[in-house]
Amino acid sequence: MNEHDIFAQSDSNETVSASFQPMSFVDILDGMFSLYRSHFHLFFRIVVVYLVFGFLINLISTAVVTGDTSITAVVITVLASIAGVLFAYWISWGLAYASTQVYLIRDITSQAALQQASRFYLRLLGCMFLYYLGVVCLSITIIGIPFAIYFAFRWGLFAYPILFEETTLRHALRRSAELVKGTWWRVCGIMIAIALIAFMIAFILQTSYAIIFYALAGAGETASPNFLQTLRRLFAPSPNQIGWGLYLIHALGTLIIGGLTMPIGTIGSALLYFDLRIRKEAFDIEMQVTD
């Protein structure tokens, strides 16, 4: 089998199967999009949960703060924002677990993926807190910044040992470090590339949508806004500027684009996680014995 043909496309059922062998950078990128395309309905069903609740959280916080600058309104907005972030992490971890299962060609439902994320949510949240605490503390001084960057990538796969191996909180960071050890530069390059690709796709889609919406909604008819005001109306218009009807359409469209691009990074990270296990632990042989 060709090195770059590790994801075989089936003509009968259009599912992607993996050969469980080491992946090159190109293989990981190709697999990232192949798995997303082949299992789009699974990832979309998970993302729909994010769209519904994310939209409600956005609507509540916007309705509270519009026309009200009191401390209560600000507090409610901050709490709603925190709830939105925590909810987004839950969805992201559900996508991460779904990514591991589709790579292993196992049947998985959106409900089961989110249940796994719920089961280990506090453990994941605690590990994420330790991750950011360690990275931020190291980056406080100029001398510590290189160490912060080093450990940011070395610990960056902590979610997969928790979700897939069901390891403990304390061991998750160590487990990620063990997998990355000796291949830091390669892992760093792949993780940056995955993040940049996901960001650029989201940025292009968001910008295109914002420009089209801005033009169709007639937002450009207002009197000579400066550059910052134009950017705000493009990407973060308020109901007072464009009305509630247009605001809801803009918010929903922006949320949909963000949700649909969420799986890209998690799938890529899952493939990197399995690639490291195959290279270092002969995970492919383990899977053959298990099967």
What pTM, to 2 d.p., does this model score? 0.85
Quick check: is 203 in a domain? yes
Q: Give how far Cα 112 sits from Cα of 27, 118, 226, 265, 278, Å.
A: 28, 10, 49, 20, 25
Quick check: is 198 in a domain? yes
Q: Quote the CA–CA distance of 82 and 88 in Å, as a whole number.
A: 10
Q: To which H or E segment does residue 18 belong?
A: strand 16-18
Quick check: is 205 in a domain? yes
Quick check: is 148 in a domain? yes
Quick check: is 10 in a domain? no
Q: To which H or E segment does residue 8 belong?
A: strand 7-9
Q: Note the pLDDT tens digit of each residue in 244-259.
A: 888 888 888 989 999 9
Q: Note the pLDDT tens digit of each residue in 32-81.
A: 999 999 999 999 999 999 999 888 888 887 777 666 667 777 787 788 88
- In three-state secondary structure terms, 82 is helix
Quick check: is 16 in a domain? no
Q: Which ranges of the chain have pLDDT less than 70?
A: 1-19, 65-69, 218-227, 229-230, 284-291
Total count of domains within the chain: 1
pLDDT at 221: 52
Quick check: is 14 in a domain? no
pLDDT at 3: 42
Range of the domain at 43: 24-286
Residue type, 256: I
Quick check: is 13 in a domain? no
Q: Quote the CA–CA distance of 275 and 7 in Å, as a whole number.
A: 13
Q: Quote the CA–CA distance of 124 and 119 in Å, as a whole number.
A: 10
pLDDT at 290: 54
Tell me the Ramachandran region of residue 222: left when phi exceeds 0, alpha when psi lies from -120 to 50, beta otherwise: beta
